[in-house]
Structure 1
Amino acid sequence: MKIRNIIKRFSIRQLFRLSGLLLQNPWYIIPTLRATKKTMMICDSLYGKTHHNNGKPNAFRHALWNVLICQKTYIHSKSEEKSVVWAQKITDLHEKLAPNKAIAEAMDLHNNRLGRLYFKDLNNATEEETVAFLKEKAMNASLVKDIKGIREFPNDMVYLFDENN
């Protein structure tokens, strides 16, 4: 889906929230958009449309999105901490603007957080290395059935159902 189509669905209040965040760091807008586009291209190529469900491909997508936002904004910020804070602000806002059921939102926030943690090891990695690392993490993701289950896997990607069953 094109970014402008997503933005058209926002209310005025949501647009103000997004605009306010983007105006805080305007030099991060283009890198964030590029990271978002790259994430969707990679996920569409690897998983087709299944990454829009709540399985392992979705866990991969959320972690990849955060890693790529961090990597691309790091080029401008020269600070891992600033890049991580920005990625968290942007991806947390995304979850607020495009709400899910509580369990799906908790899963997304969890996998986003892991992506930002992985960034610290992947900051200088190539795209291929990043994708391979995250594919491995996603293959070993843990199936959860409730929010409490997510908390049981603080260092593992999580997903809500197994698409192979």
Structure 2
Amino acid sequence: MPEPLTVPVVLAWETNYLSDCVGIMLETAKAIDTEAIAAAGKVERSTAYFASEAGNTSRQRGAADKIDTLKSADVLEALATSLRTYVAEFDSNIKIIREQKKEAEESVWDLYVTDDGQVKSRKSNWETGLEYGSFGAGAIAAKEFWMTRYQNLISAALTWIKRVDQEGAEIYVKNLEGLTDQVKTSVTTTPNDPELARILREYQTDASKDAPRLWPVGAVADALKAIGVNQSPSLLTAEEIAAMEKLYATHGIGAVGQALTLPDVANAAADEYSRGTRADGQGDAYRHMYWNAMMTQKFGEDWAQTYATAHEKSAANDPQREAMDLWNNELGRKIGAANPNASPEELQALVRQEVESGRAVVITAKDTNGDPLPAEQTQITWSRSTDQKVTGPPAGVGIPLPGRK
């Protein structure tokens, strides 16, 4: 789990290193541009001494490689530009927090700032009133005014940093979607098993074209609270939100509330089945299948497919994880569609059978010592033939494959 973004955490950030990365990325993008144009130019000028069918093929390949390389440089430049924007946002808001915290702690009111951005006084209002005698009421009012002012500024800046960190990460990696299909495909290792290779290739979906948004908010959040569902807003793709809004329109707010609880039900069942493998292992395969089976039973296979696939439309989703999830989701929907009246226990037994028979897909990401494998060795594998100890999530951010679903 990532470290929560608290006041001490963000004040300890050294964003100058990120700024250095921006410079390096821009210089690298420029160098790639220069090299690509120069190399392509030499190939283009080869007609005089390589006038043959093979020469023409080489020039065509050179032209295609030039496009791929220039596009990759553009992506690197876009990443650098995005990162520079986020660093500026972080720096300005960190400055506000640092300055307001300093002012609060140096004020006459004996104030301090909590890790979550709250401003409090070490003295009660009674003690403050007693200290200022006949001016006690005015002193209390002044102290509360300054406490509120400091807290509003600090909390607003911390909230903005959290939002930039969460939403910005999704928008930032979305730049990787700009790589050409040839580049995406060439950097992804394909399994030797032909069926797994097909799953990796075909069980991919396009990234959302719209920016992610926090949901539920506004009227939907109020309606959920009215039925006792207190759901904190989380970052969802536009397609996820559209699917939930459609469910609201067709089935009512109760169905939305129920849909929001199903992941927790699936998580608990997966932990009971195989605790410790819910990160791209057998427990994760179980979780996805059971979740989709329940959604199919309750809301229909079409809606379940729309929503589950929309969940995978986050930018630059790792291709192995995406293939694993989409495949296991489909298995789960088939179970739910074929057994519409099955009890939860019966559904779980059917899901467990799929995992243990080896039809489900997991990810091999560690060696037998538990050490992470290099990216080129991380791959989807069958659930039965894979030791649970070597499963896990791929390291880093994946280069997405072209969408097929």
Please, what TM-score do these two structures have when normalized by structure 2? 0.31
Q: Are 1:123 and 2:326 an aligned pair?
A: no
Higher helix share: 1
- Which amino acid in the other structure matches residue 55 of structure 1? G
Instruction: Select 1:61's aligned residue among 284, 287, 311.
Output: 287
Are positions 1:157 and 2:384 aligned together? no
Are 1:32 and 1:69, in contact at CA under 8 Å, matched by a contact in 2? Answer: yes
- Letter aligned with residue 280 of structure 2: N
Change (3 A) 1:100 1:133: same
Q: Distance in 2 between matches of 1:116 and 1:50?
A: 21
Q: Choose from 37, 44, 50 the match for 2:277.
A: 50
Task: Tell me how far 1:98 sits from its aligned partner.
Answer: 7.2
List aligned pairs for 1:1-80, cutoff 5 A.
Answer: 9-10=166-167, 13-15=211-213, 17=238, 18-26=240-248, 27=251, 28-51=255-278, 53-73=279-299
Deviation for aligned residue 1:71:
1.8
Amino acid at match of 1:160: I
Q: Normalised by the size of structure 1, how large is the TM-score?
A: 0.71
Superposed CA deviations along residues 20-66 of structure 1, whole A, max 9, x for unmatched, are: 32212213412311222211121123222321x22222211111110
Secondary structure of the residue aligned to 1:25 is: helix
What is the distance in 1 between the residues matched to 2:276 and 2:212?
26
AA in 1 matched with 2:244: L
Measured at CA, do residues 126 and 98 of structure 1 come closer, stay the same or move farther in structure 2, by a change above 3 Å?
farther
Aligned-partner residue type, residue 258 of structure 2: P
Amino acid at match of 2:318: K
Change over 3 Å in CA distance of 1:93–1:135 after alignment to 2 = same
**Which one scores higher on RCO, CA 8 angstroms, separation ≥ 6?**
1
Q: Which position in structure 2 is the counterpart of 1:89?
A: 306
Deviation at 1:97, TM superposition (A): 2.8
Post-superposition offset of 1:139? 1.0
Mean Cα deviation higher: 63-72 or 41-50: 41-50
**What CA distance in whole angstroms lies between the structure 1 residues aligned with 2:353 and 2:291?**
16
C-alpha separation in 2, matches of 1:135 and 1:164: 18
Deviates more, 1:38-47 or 1:110-119: 38-47
Q: Using the alignment, how far apart are the partners of 1:86 and 1:49 within structure 2?
A: 30
CA pair 138-23 structure 1, distance change in 2 beyond 3 A? same
CA contact (8 A) 2:266 2:287 kept: yes
Larger of the two Rg values belongs to structure: 2
Deviation at 1:94, TM superposition (A): 1.0
Tell me: CA distance 1:123–1:164, structure 2 relative to 1, closer, same or farther (3 Å): same
Percentage of pairs with the same residue: 27
Counterpart amino acid of residue 71 in structure 1: Q
Q: Unaligned stretches of 5+ in structure 2?
A: 2-162, 171-209, 214-236, 365-386, 391-405
Give 3-state SS (helix, strand or coil) of 1:160's partner: strand
Q: 1:140 to 1:100 in 2, by over 3 A?
A: farther
- Cα-Cα RMSD: 2.4
Deviation at 1:105, TM superposition (A): 0.6
Which residue identity is paired with 1:94? H
Kindly provide the amino acid, as one letter, of the partner of residue 108 in structure 1: D
Count of residues paired in the alignment: 135
The CA distance in 2 between the partners of 1:158 and 1:96, in whole Å, is 19
